[in-house]
Structure 1
């Protein structure tokens, strides 16, 4: 902890005005694992450290002190008021790893807090407008409708997915797949791993030519097109207008229009039934935990007897924590997103009467996937910034690098759960042992 010194600027209690670097030391101690410098000329931390942080403006200080934690850091970083040195803004993974491993916050004493407040001055403690990339806080979203209503879900999806198809093409690569890939080895290419993921889902669902598939939250139609290439009639639904337009063009360009369709539609508006299989790849995170019973009941109603469900989603490593996302994720990435453990998801699937046959955790695969997306963002940084602006590109680099670290450290997971709609007599109509190549 920094030592407060007496000087001529003392306000009467023996404590003088602190520099920004001294304030940081008061909060995290003097053993800071990165170089830190601030606009007031002060600095601290290991001067020979590979990575650094440069606080460039008073506004950045205001962001940090008025929204402590990941939200304040994100605001300062996205706005460009806080620069990370030694890393590319498209992939700040390494500095996040070092900070996560070695930076430990402590609670300043009342005397220290008073000194920090006087040193900053009241002007820097007044909240200022956040970067334009930030979504409204939860309590101000009621104008968009009740949480997880159709209108509010549509707005949340629009915020994240209707950024720019050209931007996503640069970041996601040719597959245009924004979900966890399935790697056969760590050095497999991102594109091959995404194709392998679709192959895995297709085989788990035991699909055959002539079968019917419903893909809920289909994104740019990757699963729909994969199924159609293998003779399956597939319908996809997405709340993103840009995704639907891109997917329909891709379907036409591949000559798959007789078998495949992607609709700009809420999944709840799909009227067809009797599907042989339903895939839900990366949508459950947007549903809301309290809506799981209705969601899985809806899916059950879409399946024929013997039909299969494959639910693929990000999960927490336990079933105890609050489902809501943290400040940065909720405001910048997935408004209203919620995560829970795989046990809760399996329970809700079982409670609507579907039989769970298999589940597996692919969290290491998602870390590899995110690393691949970050490489794409770095390689295409100038084009991405030209397309969406530097602030939005920074959001994506920060989000993907931080998420990679979360999957590596088992802070979040990715589970696939396979279930079947049995007959009234319990017939499942599936082979005795797993029928797919792992």
Structure 2
């Protein structure tokens, strides 16, 4: 019996996706575990594996198709012994029909409305002629017939310069008793003044739509509180150099971010009131620190998770983070590798950003924003010296975390970074 291959739900929030690319073609034999397609979800582009064995009898949904609903049949597999030619194709998912644009219904003529008639006539002219709002106003003031003017703007649009060079007195006389002409829906006008700005357009990916929706929800529904500390990094940088020398034979090179992930994880365990999440009318307090790390990828941002970062060695964190980041950029993360986490860290120091406020990634209740380490004048032992200073800003969900508890976390994070041996003990 033929097997209907359905659009899978590759994330808990996925309702539809884009079938980006087929990795098989009709007539190919597939086995369980074979890669069938690349599917763009609301989180990332992921590979879809076969569960059943057989031959691809029919590809129902072409690659590049958007808005394929979860559960829609995307292909049909013929089982052993079945003739591929005998397999009936399942109906392709119906495209969502766009509502037809309804032409405006002309209003019935009033018996005595002398003031309204000129406006209706003007609307009829505007509906036929492509002109900017300013050009229309100037044409009316100067008595210029827009229908007799050649537009020099984009797509023949009439702009101010065309009206300035046109001769006045050619506009038709507006009759108060004229029968209004039903007009087509007015063409959209530019929002940038008289002239359209040259531009290109690109369809938003599922990931970009999700980022826009989630960040909007986060800022609208989560009361953010921001706390910033300046951290002296010289001891941490020195320790990193020493550790990298000892790890060189193993081919491991620690980044500053690896040490900061560890510091945040240890701080969260030491200040458990910040290692929390709001779940309806309940507050969850987590027993381990799973750190979501913001990674920029083509078309958006994804946050792969270093699980149990508080108990892992720096070499483990570094190796794991390198693998996660590489697979994130290739779109090959598995769902459990970016879904969850108890807190996030976002480092923009490599771009020279001194400090910034990050948006909380719900359902988490905090995110740490890391700025660049810079040489700055700094008071050390009551004397002004030059030190490497980094600004870190914690964003906290004030529904779940009080300001004093957030301040305590920032204090512990600062102490661990300034005395990094403490996070290794």
TM-score over 0.5 for the pair: no
Question: Computing the radius of gyration over CA atoms, which structure comes out larger, 1 or 2?
Answer: 2
TM-score, scaled relative to structure 1: 0.23
Q: Which has the higher helix share?
A: 1
Q: Which has the higher strand share?
A: 2
